[in-house]
């Protein structure tokens, strides 16, 4: 198998676990308030500040630089979403959770390793470009959001064709010159990235249940 196929197969169970009964289930079921949805957007904001910050720092790297796509950067979209949810004072309303701080610390820790950056980039962005599009459509139904704030995080107009972009992304993964050891190292980091992102959602769900 190609590396992209190997990576998907080796981490599919972790991907499914991240989509199991969780905060996302409550969200997609329409059982969360707009403010509770905003908590997830806020955690995304801090995670993407770290991820896209790493991308900007690695733009000139001969390996990692092939996985730096300015058209994917999420900070402006997340700022519009947070302003739509919380209003003009949104910056004073949000803080990173414990699990988000752990995720951010890991992204920063591996940012000098191209495989580590790629692992976290792949985990987040391939999900946003795939299942994230279904999430966007459901959120638009639940909360009535339209383009311009609320779900802009999931809108990738600058990318053009999402299937074509994802095919190009996988082709770049397959073009990496990796020995077996490095492939396995990246796979382990992707599995860890799924775990850390799942823990962010689990903490959000715990907060929702504690407030009920």
Q: Mind listing the pLDDT tens digit for each residue in 143-192?
A: 999 899 999 999 999 999 999 999 999 999 999 999 999 999 999 999 99
Instruction: Give me the mean pLDDT over the 84-89 stretch.
Output: 95
**Domains defined along the chain, listed by start:** 3-211 (1.20.910.10)
pLDDT in tens, 62-80: 999 999 999 999 999 999 9
- Residue 18: predicted pLDDT: 63
Instruction: Give me the mean pLDDT over the 2-30 stretch.
Output: 84
What average pLDDT is seen over the chain? 94
pLDDT score of 108 more than 80: yes
pLDDT score of 21 more than 60: no
Class of residue 66 by CB neighbours under 10 A (exposed 0-12, middle 13-18, buried 19+): middle
What Cα–Cα distance (Å) separates residue 8 from each residue in 5, 13, 66, 72, 190?
Answer: 5, 9, 19, 21, 10
pLDDT score of 194 more than 90: yes
pLDDT score of 20 more than 70: no
């Amino acid at each position: 198998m190609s590396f992209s196929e190997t990576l998907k197969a080796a981490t599919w169970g972790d991907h499914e676990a991240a989509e199991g009964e969780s905060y996302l289930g409550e969200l997609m079921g329409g059982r969360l308030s707009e403010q509770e949805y905003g908590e997830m957007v806020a955690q995304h904001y801090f995670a993407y500040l770290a991820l896209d910050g790493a991308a900007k720092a690695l733009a000139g790297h001969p390996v990692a630089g092939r996985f730096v796509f300015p058209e994917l950067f999420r900070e402006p979209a997340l700022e519009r979403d947070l302003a739509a949810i919380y209003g003009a004072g949104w910056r004073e309303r949000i803080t990173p959770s414990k699990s988000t701080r752990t995720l951010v610390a890991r992204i920063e820790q591996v940012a000098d390793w191209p495989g580590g950056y790629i692992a976290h980039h792949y985990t987040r962005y391939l999900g946003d470009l795939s299942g994230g599009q279904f999430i966007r459509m459901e959120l638009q139904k639940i909360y009535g959001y339209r383009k311009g704030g609320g779900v802009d995080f999931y809108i990738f107009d600058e990318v053009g064709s999402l299937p074509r972009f994802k095919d190009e992304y996988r082709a770049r993964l397959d073009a990496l010159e990796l020995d077996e050891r490095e492939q396995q190292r990246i796979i382990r980091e992707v599995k860890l990235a799924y775990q850390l992102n799942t823990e962010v959602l689990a903490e959000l769900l715990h907060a929702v249940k504690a407030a009920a």
